[in-house]
């Protein structure tokens, strides 16, 4: 397996290859635009020489499965390259993929596989089943401690100072297309929900909540099969407060399933 992006998620996926994934994958390549991050991770893992690659192309050439774990729009180009090379690709930047869903057609044309984990939310299994009968309404409300929105350029442009927020503040209410553009690193969950529901008519609410210690996502879907209501209260990943620990675990579990013949859950 090759991992592009050796930050919070990429590092933990790499570490999982020595634990949960040890019977499923071998780590063959690491790449990060910050070469010291890839080198540091390789040292921590006591990986063999040559695991750190000098480019995405070199990484893609040396593995069958690519885990995309970067935090920039470059994710789209990395996924496209891996798909063209017919690799299986775990996509963590689901929000970035949402704005370039032509990559789905590309993957089907090239016989590649794109795996989008549920990430920090619960209920995509039920949403996928319920969509066959149709929905009346879908809402997702994401609440995070203000620090989880640090560096967000939409909020900076709006002049919102996160440190001044003393009670719940609605930062955004709107559709999923707008949400993924304004909160590219916070709203992978809304993108995953929209893709699972096969609908863009989703109401997204983003709230900064100083009283919260956990990133919380609440989904309510109503439709012909009934109502689905899920809440996840996630511990932030210590390495990156914007990322929920559950999202990391979800990526690892998705990889495990990818290599398993038995599939449990829809
Ligand atoms: N699906 C979900 O539910 C979910 C949840 C949390 C985070 N995410 C997404 O997963 C991705 C990774 O999250 P993270 O917490 O590990 O981020 P992070 O900031 O901790 O790490 C990202 C790493 O990518 C590297 N990088 C940036 N551009 C690169 C490039 N062009 N090539 C190679 N490396 C590059 C950075 O140097 C950094 O080391 C983000 O896009 C995030 O939005 C998804």
Centre a 10 Å sphere on the Cβ of residue 156 and count the other Cβ atoms it contains. 13
- Angle subtended at Cα 225 by Cα 224 and Cα 227, rounded to the nearest 5 degrees: 95
Cβ contact 2:29 at 8 Å = yes
- Specify the pLDDT at position 151: 93
- Specify the pLDDT at position 230: 98
Helix (H, G, I), strand (E, B) or coil at 86: coil
- Residue ranges of the domains in the chain? 2-116, 124-241
Would the pTM of this model clear 0.85, i.e. be above it? yes
Distances in whole angstroms, Cα of residue 124 to Cα of each of 71, 220, 256:
23, 12, 18
CATH number for the domain whose boundaries are 2-116: 3.40.50.720
Within 6 Å (CB) of ligand 1, which residues are found? 4-10, 31-34, 37, 69-72, 74, 92-94, 117, 119-120, 185, 188-189, 240, 243-244, 247
Residue 226 β-bridge partners: 223
Helix (H, G, I), strand (E, B) or coil at 35: helix
Tens of pLDDT along the chain (266 residues)? 999 999 999 999 999 998 999 999 999 999 999 999 999 999 999 999 999 999 999 999 999 999 999 999 999 999 999 999 999 999 999 999 888 778 999 999 999 999 999 999 999 999 999 999 999 999 999 999 999 899 999 999 999 999 999 999 999 999 999 999 999 888 899 999 999 999 988 999 999 999 999 999 999 999 999 999 999 999 989 888 888 999 999 999 999 999 998 989 99
5 Cα to the center of ligand 1, angstroms:
6
CATH number for the domain whose boundaries are 124-241: 3.30.360.10
- Specify the pLDDT at position 186: 81
Residue 217 is a catalytic residue = yes
Answer whether 2-116 and 124-241 agree in fold: no
Cβ contact 224:133 at 8 Å = yes
- Specify the pLDDT at position 173: 98
60 Cα to the center of ligand 1, angstroms:
17
């Amino acid at each position: 397996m090759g991992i592009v992006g050796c930050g919070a998620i990429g590092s933990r996926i790499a570490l999982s290859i020595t634990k949960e994934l040890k019977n499923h994958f071998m780590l063959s390549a690491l790449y990060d635009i910050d070469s010291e991050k890839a080198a540091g991770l390789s040292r921590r893992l006591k990986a063999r020489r040559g695991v750190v690659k000098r480019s995405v192309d070199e990484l893609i050439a040396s593995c069958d499965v690519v885990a995309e774990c970067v935090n920039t729009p470059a994710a789209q180009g990395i996924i496209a390259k891996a798909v063209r090379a017919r690799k299986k690709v775990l996509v963590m930047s689901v929000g970035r993929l949402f704005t370039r869903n032509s990559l789905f057609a590309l993957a089907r044309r090239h016989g590649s596989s794109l795996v989008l984990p549920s990430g920090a939310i619960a209920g995509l299994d039920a949403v996928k089943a319920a969509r066959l009968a149709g929905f009346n309404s879908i809402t997702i409300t994401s609440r995070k401690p203000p620090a989880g929105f640090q560096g967000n350029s939409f909020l900076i442009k709006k002049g919102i100072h996160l440190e001044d927020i003393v009670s719940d503040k609605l930062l955004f209410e709107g559709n999923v297309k707008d949400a993924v553009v304004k909160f590219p690193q916070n709203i992978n969950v809304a993108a995953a929900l929209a893709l699972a529901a096969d609908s863009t008519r989703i109401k997204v609410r983003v709230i900064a909540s100083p009283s919260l210690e956990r990133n919380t996502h609440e989904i309510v879907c109503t439709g012909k099969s009934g109502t689905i209501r899920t809440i996840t209260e996630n511990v932030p990943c210590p390495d990156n407060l914007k990322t929920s620990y559950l999202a990391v675990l979800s990526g690892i579990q998705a990889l495990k399933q990818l290599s398993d013949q038995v599939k449990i859950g829809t």
